[in-house]
Amino acid sequence: MIVGTRWAIAVALADWLSAQTTFLFLVRWVGPFRVVEARQHAFVVEHLITKGKIEVHGSRLKFYSDASLEVTAELKEHVASQGIVLGVWAIVGHRKHPVTDEWEVQVAWVGLEDIENSWEPLRTIYADVPARVQEYVDNNAITELDWLQGTATSDD
């Protein structure tokens, strides 16, 4: 992962707006920020003036360049890769889907805001991150999901 002082980015202001904000989809880019740490599914960025640091998902970053930015083959390869992989921060809710009658869990994603939590099929999430699902079940004394105890899974 490329991290360094020559990287400057802008972060979408919408990342800090609350769910009550009516203009959530009107994105205004703010910055500049510097990428100071690359994590598995997110970046830690630092404001160049205030030195304040925040964790953001890569999809929330907008790279820009100036005359001193070196465009290397590695940079071009990074820009060309368009797949987004999200990490599960936590399971924050569960429900039975009203149409399919299948269990779903509400997932909080690494580097994304709470408003971007999403409902995902329980079986899919349990297959990917069984420890996170089990942690949610145990911490919340969820009895209707006890069937998970007997479900075989692959390793994390």
Sign of CA dihedral 102, 116, 112, 84: positive
Q: pLDDT value at position 90?
A: 92
DSSP type of residue 39 = -
Q: Which two tokens stand for residue 115?
A: 């408003």
Q: What is the mean pLDDT of residues 9-21?
A: 44
The dihedrals phi and psi of 3, each to the nearest 5 degrees, come to -140, 135
**50 Cβ neighbours under 8 A, 6+ residues apart:** none
Looking at the DSSP assignment, which residues form a beta bridge with residue 103?
Answer: 96
> β-strands 61-64, 88-96: how paired?
unpaired
What domains, with CATH codes, occur in the chain? 8-80 (2.30.30), 88-150 (2.40.50.40)
By the 8 A CB rule, do 43 and 37 touch?
Answer: yes
Residue 14 has what pLDDT? 42
C-alpha to C-alpha distance for 129 and 6, rounded to whole angstroms: 36
Closest CA to 123 of 101, 103, 143, 108: 103
pLDDT tops 90 at residue 56: no
pLDDT at 92: 94
> What is the model's pTM?
0.48
Residue 20's identity, in one-letter code, is Q
